[in-house]
Amino acid sequence: MRLTDKVAIITGAGAGIGRATALLFASEGAKVVAVDLDLQAAEAVVAEVGASSLAMAIQADVSVLADVQRVVAETLDRFGRISILFNNAGIVPHGKIHQTTEAEWDRTMAVNVRSMYLMCHEVVPIFLKQGGGDILNTASAAALRSVVDRAAYSASKGAVVALTKSMALDYVRDRIRVNCLCPGTVDTPSLGQRLAAFPDPVEARKQFVARQPMGRLGTAEEIAQAALFLVSDEAAFITGIAFSVDGGFTV
């Protein structure tokens, strides 16, 4: 029960890494706020937790300030505090830079970077008043090693790494730790949707697997375990790191 009495906001909690982390955090004693654009998905996660007193679902677009403020207000109203912020919501657009429209670029930066700025902007003052807190951001192995056809995505996740390090330095004396995860390719519903868009989804999956040195894709549960470690007291001396969980992809 490494997160007993802690309150964790998790964005993008309706599926994949977010869902696995919400379930794991709850099993470790945390009260979980599952935030997702898809309310039904978030509510399904809360149902899996199995106790409404331990979790709540909130529908929100975390790239929109009013939605973010509502998430924070509802969390404080329900649980009275915030201990952990896991900025996990994100999208993975394909394409080289000349194939990326202005709208695609702006949406990628809004969901993958602006959302983290907004969530941190609203939560950090609470952490300062409380005397500390933990922030974890989902970046990507693509922020550390180039990947073909991921121009906007890689740029956004590189920004997440830089933001993480900057915040970690800014707040280290305030007992606010800030770290980020850099997952490799993880077998999630989001990946399944992206694979389905390829002319040959089966071949596309084989190519995704082939680029992983370990010879397989990661699981959402494996990433969740890394998230648990980084927000737990066991990682109390760790801040400002980009923690790779990628099966050797960035070696």
C-alpha–C-alpha distance, residues 15 and 188, integer Å: 8
Residue 54 CA from chain centroid, whole number: 20
Catalytic residue among 79, 127, 153, 243: 153
Q: Give the pairing type, strands 7-11 and 242-245.
A: unpaired
153 among known catalytic residues: yes
d(CA 248, CA 251) in angstroms, rounded, equals 5
78: left (phi over 0), alpha (psi -120 to 50) or beta: alpha
Angle at 85 between CA 212 and CA 93, to 5 degrees: 40
Output the CA–CA distances (angstroms, integers) from residue 61 to 37, 99, 115, 122, 214, in the order listed. Answer: 5, 26, 8, 15, 35
* Residue numbers annotated as active site: 153
